[in-house]
Amino acid sequence: RDDVDFWTGRDVDELRPSLATEDYVRRIGKLSASDPLLLVAHAYTRYMGDLSGGTILARVARRALGLSKDGDGLRFYDFGKVSAKVFKDEYRVALDEMDLDEGAVHRLVDEANVAFVLNMRLFQEIDVAAGVEG
């Protein structure tokens, strides 16, 4: 919410979600109702990716956009007092301890690929809106 307010100057409740956001929300809603286990794939894709590269991305973005070090505009990458390494290690252990049959594992992997594509679409929309070429 803070980042949306920062970048748009408007309250997030006043904005309409983008098409990619609507698709993502629709997918999460569908899985919540039909196969909640697959939400693990979305959590994995987002959190592990953000914790792995988020600090670096935030630093690059802050410099490229000339933002101050107070975090305004980049709260998305602020994980508070969470240790990225500890969280990722514990998350992987929790995943490894899940009692899943081979079919569930394949469904999770397939859904992780869907989650990756949905996330890419979100970032592509941001790039287009910002006029980024390429």
Query: Token pair for residue 127?
Result: 């790039």
Query: Long-range contact list for 72-77, CB < 8 A, 24+ apart?
Result: 72/2, 72/6, 73/3, 73/6, 73/7, 74/3, 75/2, 75/3, 75/6, 76/3, 76/50, 77/50
Residue whose token pair is 């514990």: 90
pLDDT in tens, 113-129: 999 999 999 888 877 77
pLDDT tens digits, one per residue of 7-27? 788 777 888 888 999 999 999
Contacts 24+ apart (CB under 8 A), 118-125: 118/20, 118/23, 118/24, 118/27, 119/24, 119/45, 119/46, 119/49, 121/20, 121/23, 121/24, 122/18, 122/20, 122/21, 122/24, 124/20, 125/18, 125/19, 125/20, 125/21
Q: What confidence score (pLDDT) does residue 22 get? A: 96
Q: What is the mean pLDDT of residues 56-76?
A: 84
| pLDDT of the residue at 134 | 64
**What's the pLDDT band for 103 if we cut at 50, 70, 90?**
very high
